Chains A and B, each alone.
Chain A
C-alpha cells in the first residue's frame, strides 16, 4: 500500500515535470507554429539563472520563482525581436535558426561559466510514507504545475490579452484587420512561453545536474509531448503530460529505465497514429 502511494507520487512527479517543461513550448508552438529547437537551452538558462543568483546569496525561492522566469522571459523577448520575428511562417528557417541559437547559447554559457557550476541544494525536506521516503519538493512541483495550468487558463480565458491572443492564433489576418497588432501578440506570447520554460528550468535546477548541455535531454521529449497533445495548449499539454508521465514512470519502475524510455516512445507513436491530430483534437475539441 505504501509502495503504491510512493509510485503514485512518482507518476505525479513525472507528469508535473512534463507539464512544466512543455507548457512554454506548447504556447510557442501552438501559437506561432515555431519549432523552437532551443527549448532545452531555455530550460538550461532558467536553471543557470537560478543557480547563479542563489549562489550570489539570493533566497532560493526568489531565484527559482522570480529570477528564472523573468530572466528567460526577457531573453525570449530579445530573441523574438532580433531573430524569430523575421521568420514567422517559415517553419524550416525557424528550425535552422533555433538550432543555431541552441548551439550559440550552449557555447556562450560554457564560455562564461565553464563546463560545470556549483549547484543549489534541494529546498524542503523529505517525509515518510510507512517504510518509504519521498520529498516535499515533489509535491511542490506538482502544485506549481497545477497553478501554472490554472494561470494560463485564466489569462487566456478571462483577460483581454488572452482573447486577442486566441483570436490571433485562429486568424492573424482577421485580427490585424480588427486593429490588433499580431507582431505584438507574437512577441508577448514568445516571452510568456519563454518565461514558463525558464520557470521549469529554475524549478528543475535543485533536482538535476546543471551543466550547459543539459537542455539536450529535454527537447525531444518535450516535442513529442506537445505534438502528442495536439493543438489545444492547455488540455493537450495536460493530458499528454499525464499520459506520458504515467507510462514512463510505470515503465521505468516495472521494467528497466531503458525500456521505460522505449515504451514511452512507442506509445507516443501509437498515440499519434490513432489520433493523428493529438489527444485534444479528439477529446477536448474546442477547449484551450
Chain B
C-alpha cells in the first residue's frame, strides 16, 4: 500500500487528539466516570485483540476470554507473590502469548479453520472456566495466592509505580495507565498492519491458497497473528484486574466471549477503531440498562442488538465511513481496500 500523505497526516492529528483527551479527561469528569472509562478502556484492549485477529487475520476465536482470563489470573497470582506490579504485567502478557502459541500450533498446523476453530477456542474457555471454578479451598494456592474457586481472588493489589511497590496508582493515574495502554496497543497494531507482516496477514485472510502459492506459510502467519492477539488480550486482563482489584472465573464465561464478538461486530469488523467504539458503546449501554426498572435488562439489550443488526448490518464505523464518503466524496474508493473487503472474512456464504 502506498502511503497517502493525507492519511498519515490525519493519523498523527487523531493520535494527538486522543492523547489530549486522555490527559484532559480527569479534569472534566468525576472519579466514578473516570473509573468507568478505565474499565471500558481495559475491555477495549480486549476488543482490539479480537478485532485484530478476526478482522485482519480471519481467525474467529470464540474464546478470546481464555487469554483475557489467563492474563487476569496471571497478573493477580504474580502480583500477590512478587509484591510488585511491573513484572506481573509482563507475565500477564507473556503467559497468554505462550498459551496462544501452543493452542495456535495445535490448531493451525492441524489445518483447522472456520467454525471448527471457533468451537475449539470456545471449548478451551469452557475447560478453563470449569477448572478454575473447582479451585475453591486452601489447597489450591500458588505461592501466596489462593485461587479461591468461583468466589475468585479479592483485594488483588493494583498497579504501582514501576520499581516502587509502595506508591500505588490512584484512580487518575490508573486511568492514564489504562487509557494509555489502549492508545499504545492501537498505534502498535496500526504500525504492524502497515508492516510487511501485516500485509501478508491480510493476504492470507483474503486467500490462503494464493498466499501460500506466493511462498508464504499461512499457518505460521496465522499463528503469529493469534499469538499477538493472545498477548493483547492478556494485557487487557491485567488492566481489568487492576480496575476492579478482583478476579473471578466469570472472566472466562461464555457470555463475555459472546459479548466481545458483539463489540467487534457492532463497531465494524475489519477496522481497528470499530471494536473500541463498539466496546465503549455496548458497555455503556449495559450499565445504563441496569439502572432502569421499566424493562427487564435482557429484554432491552436483546431488542437493541436485533434492531442494530437489521439497520446497520456493516457495523457502526464502516457505515459512518460510507455515509461520510457519500456526503463529502473526497476519499477515493480505492484507498480503503482493507475495510471494504473485510466484511466477511470467515467464509460464511457457500
Interface of A toward B, CB cutoff 8 Å? 33, 35, 37, 83, 86-87, 89-93, 95-97, 99-108, 110-111, 172, 216, 219-220, 223-224, 227-228, 258, 261-262, 265-266, 268-269, 272-273, 276-278
Contact = CB atoms under 8 A, between A and B. Distances in A.
Given A83-B310, A92-B265, A269-B123, A227 B116 contact: yes
Nearest to A219: B254
A139 B305 CA distance: 41
Most interface-central of A100, A101, A102, A107 (chain B CB within 10 A): A100
A272 B119 contact: yes
Given A107-B295, A272-B116, A97 B348 contact: no
Contact of A91 (B120, B123, B133, B344): B344
A216 B127 CA distance: 16
A93 B119 contact: no
B306 A107 contact: no
A251 to B, nearest CB: 12
A261 B311 CA distance: 40
Interface string B163-182: 00000000000000000000
Contacts of A83: 306, 309-310
B310 A269 contact: no
A243 B204 CA distance: 35
8 contacts: A83-B310, A86-B310, A87-B309, A97-B310, A100-B306, A227-B115, A261-B130, A276-B111
Contacts of A268: 119, 123
Contact of A262 (B131, B297, B349): B131
A107 B130 contact: no
Contacts of A108: 296, 299
**3 closest Cβ pairs, A-B complex:** A107-B299, A100-B305, A104-B302
Contact of B302 (A86, A87, A92, A105): A105
A111 B301 contact: no
B215 interface: no
Nearest to B305: A100
B137 interface: no
Given A220-B254, A269-B124, A276 B302 contact: no
B346 interface: yes
Nearest to B121: A269
B286 to A, nearest CB: 11
B106 to A, nearest CB: 6
A107 B112 contact: no
A16 B269 CA distance: 39
Contacts of B212: none
B298 A93 contact: no
Given A83-B310, A100-B306, A90 B348 contact: yes
A262 to B, nearest CB: 5
A90 B343 CA distance: 9
Contact of A96 (B111, B130, B309): B309
Nearest to B262: A96
Interface string B17-61: 000000000000000000000000000000000000000000010
B110 A103 contact: no
A95 B122 contact: no
Contacts of B323: none
B304 interface: yes
A90 B312 CA distance: 13
B305 A276 contact: no
B350 interface: yes
B281 interface: no
A227 B119 contact: yes
B348 A96 contact: no
B123 A110 contact: no
Most interface-central of B254, B255, B309 (chain A CB within 10 A): B309
A97 B130 contact: no
A96 B278 CA distance: 13
Given A92-B348, A93-B309, A96-B262, A107 B298 contact: yes
B302 A107 contact: yes
A96 B127 contact: no
A14 B291 CA distance: 42
Contact of B119 (A87, A91, A103, A224): A224
